[in-house]
Amino acid sequence: MMSTPFLRSPPFPGIAPSLAAVSLMRDAGDAAVPVGDDVLDAIIAARVGGTFWGALSDGVGVERDPWALVTQAESIRAQADDEIALIAGLLGVPVIGPDDAVIDPAQLRVSLKARIAAARYRDCFTGQPVDAMQAVTQLADWRRHIDGNRGIVAASGMAFWKRDAIRHFLWDGMASPPFLSADRGLRRARREKGALAVWPSRVPVTLPQDAMDQGVALARVEDGFLRSRGLGAGLHPPGSVVVDRTGIYYNARASNDLETLLATHDFPPALVDRARRLREKVCATGVTKYGPEAGRMIDLPVGKRTVLAIGQVDDDLSVRLGGAGVDGNLDFLMRVRRAEPDAWIIYRPHPDVQAGHRKGHLPDATVLAHADAIDTGAPLMELVQAIDELHVLSSLTGFEALMRGRSVTVHGMPFYAGWGLTRDLAKPSARRGRQLSVDQLVAAALILYPRYLDPVTQLPCGPEIMVDRMADGSTPPMTWLIALRALQGKFRRFMTLFAEFLHG
């Protein structure tokens, strides 16, 4: 019996192998569980098993991805029990044994089933036993994560307090890219013919054009849609990011990986069902982008149409690139009033603005000239579910409201607009127009597009684990840096309000 399971975990840096393991060899006397063809089919589809995280190309002393190696071969010379022979048998590549005879592919499948049955499987996030199919599903998520990082040779614009997390997010099975200045990152990427990962708001505005001129591909990194239990502006490391190779989701002026998924992916039934279960879990736990909410619900008038208008950060890239010409929070609020002249409008400022970290504050008197109330503390999703209509510019709140079956009017062009799910007031995009279900939207935006990092194990995880962790409060501890940032925000907010008082 082999001493190493076929379905095994990548050697994630800094993570104990015993923690990351999804499989262990069975103890003597343990009964083997039969393995069906469905497990082999799932392995083929996911291309997992063996050292699937290995390099795609040759290198001295470098562990290779056997799946990439086999697909490049016309035949394989190996013994019948070698992993590369077992993979070749799955892929239909002839395997020639030591006696120069071709090994029967059916024999290789039987051998692989026995190899898989010789192990026991565990959920690396809970430690609970699982079956082989669940282990394949986890490895498939890891393969997608690792493959998404292939070819990234440097990273620029990553805030120092995010870098530990970014190292995990961008690990490609062999290494994490070094953090370099934009200029040095471009030079390295050009020299190594690789891609440069960037945080768009923290690199020079000229970088995209410079990269294009030099033939360097960019991978834009941003917060995901289930982020953490804290504000980014408050220096809470992200629990989720997106790594986009063609654009970025909030830039409606150009295509991006998420938009392409929404426009072209076939969304198989199993994926849509997974998205439905994920959506139901998100709604049941009350998780939003920054975690479960607390606060007192505001009173709403009876017998009158109620509208919630979500403020944003005025200079945020999602407003500048996805706002469809709306000029900040005041312009947005005035447009909401024009669209809802008889409604009772509640204005909700963005939490980063409210905390004093970002631009976009409106004096109360200015807000109340166009709205009927200001809310800063009600549980947001409870409020969304209580009002008649939600108005957003490009806020993620619109997406969260759609997951809860609410009616959403959109003034900009966020990623979730243009698919038949929202009332869109901006000019439609020719790249959109496909009619999608909410669960197809969720499948792309929460499962296929982002990657997640479990705050407990530090392993890449699926969105379901992230929702569970956010719901039970499993987050990184408070640091002196986070505390200092909170004090800075309070001071800025005090100065803003003091200036308003002085000016009447």
pLDDT score at 59: 63
Q: Rounded CA gap, 99 and 408, in Å? A: 68
pLDDT band at 357 (very low <50, low <70, confident <90, very high): low
pLDDT score at 62: 78
Instruction: Reduce the DSSP state of residue 320 to 3 states and report it.
Output: helix
Q: What is the pLDDT of residues 120-152, one digit of tens each?
A: 999 999 999 999 999 999 999 999 999 999 999
pLDDT score at 326: 85
Contact of 90 with 112, CB cutoff 8 Å = yes
The token pair that represents 299 in the structure block: 């009173």
pLDDT band at 248 (very low <50, low <70, confident <90, very high): very high
Lowest mean pLDDT among 191-200, 348-357, 431-440, 442-451: 348-357
Nearest to 19 by CA among 153, 126, 178, 170: 126
Q: How many CB atoms lie within 10 A of CB 249?
A: 26
pLDDT score at 317: 75
The token pair that represents 355 in the structure block: 């905390």
Q: Rounded CA gap, 392 and 378, in Å? A: 17
Q: What is the pLDDT of residues 417-458, one digit of tens each?
A: 999 999 999 998 999 999 999 999 999 999 999 999 999 999
**Angle at the Cα of 224 from the Cα atoms of 251 and 390, rounded to 5 degrees:** 70
pLDDT at 234 over 70: no
Segment 162-180 mean pLDDT: 96
Q: Rounded CA gap, 212 and 386, in Å? A: 48
Burial of 484 (0-12, 13-18, 19+ CB in 10 A): exposed
Tokens 């393995």 map to which residue? 35
Pairing of strands 450-453, 217-223: unpaired
The token pair that represents 188 in the structure block: 């390295």
Locate all alpha helices (DSSP H) within 350-418, ordered by sequence: 351-354, 364-368, 380-386, 397-403
pLDDT at 492 over 80: no
Segment 105-127 mean pLDDT: 95
Torsion of CA 311, 317, 323, 328, to 10 degrees: 50
pLDDT score at 355: 57
pLDDT band at 500 (very low <50, low <70, confident <90, very high): very low
Nearest to 351 by CA among 420, 419, 435, 291: 291
Segment 253-274 mean pLDDT: 96
Q: What is the pLDDT of residues 287-312, one digit of tens each?
A: 876 556 667 899 999 999 999 999 98
Q: Rounded CA gap, 124 and 24, in Å? A: 11
Largest CA distance in the chain: 93
Enumerate helices (H) and strands (E) in the chain, giving the number of each.
20, 17
Radius of gyration of the chain (CA): 25
Q: Rounded CA gap, 397 and 395, in Å? A: 5
pLDDT band at 116 (very low <50, low <70, confident <90, very high): very high
Segment 459-481 mean pLDDT: 76
Instruction: Reduce the DSSP state of residue 385 to 3 states and report it.
Output: helix
Q: If you ran DSSP here, which 8-state letter would residue 188 be given?
A: H
pLDDT at 50 over 80: yes
**Angle at the Cα of 165 from the Cα atoms of 162 and 171, rounded to 5 degrees:** 130
pLDDT at 486 over 70: no
Higher pLDDT: 350 or 137? It is 137
pLDDT score at 482: 44
Nearest to 44 by CA among 129, 109, 96, 97: 109
pLDDT score at 350: 77
Q: If you ran DSSP here, which 8-state letter would residue 160 be given?
A: G
pLDDT score at 7: 97
Contact of 335 with 341, CB cutoff 8 Å = no
pLDDT score at 202: 94
The answer to whether the Cα torsion of 431, 436, 438, 439 is positive or negative is negative
Q: Which residues lie across from 218 on neighbouring strands?
A: 196
Percent over 90 (pLDDT), the chain = 75
Q: Rounded CA gap, 244 and 261, in Å? A: 11
Q: What is the pLDDT of residues 3-19, one digit of tens each?
A: 799 999 999 999 999 99
pLDDT band at 28 (very low <50, low <70, confident <90, very high): confident
pLDDT score at 57: 78
pLDDT score at 479: 47
State the pTM of this model. Answer: 0.86
Segment 256-269 mean pLDDT: 97
pLDDT band at 100 (very low <50, low <70, confident <90, very high): very high
Q: Rounded CA gap, 80 and 302, in Å? A: 75
Nearest to 236 by CA among 129, 343, 325, 164: 164
Level-2 CATH architecture, domain 269-472:
3-Layer(aba) Sandwich (3.40)
pLDDT score at 33: 77
> Measured between alpha carbons, how far is residue 226 from residues 214, 314, 339, 378, 458 in Å?
34, 22, 30, 20, 16
Q: If you ran DSSP here, which 8-state letter would residue 450 be given?
A: E
Lowest mean pLDDT among 59-73, 133-147, 397-411: 59-73
pLDDT score at 96: 96
- Give residue 271's Cα distance to chain centre: 16
Any idea where the domains of the chain sit in the sequence?
17-144, 269-472
Q: Rounded CA gap, 406 and 386, in Å? A: 9
Q: Look over the chain and give the mean of its residue pLDDT values, rounded to a whole number.
A: 89
Locate all alpha helices (DSSP H) within 265-368, ordered by sequence: 269-285, 317-322, 328-339, 351-354, 364-368
pLDDT score at 235: 58
Segment 383-408 mean pLDDT: 96
Which are the contacts of 63, defined by CB distance < 8 A and separation ≥ 6? 51, 54, 55, 174
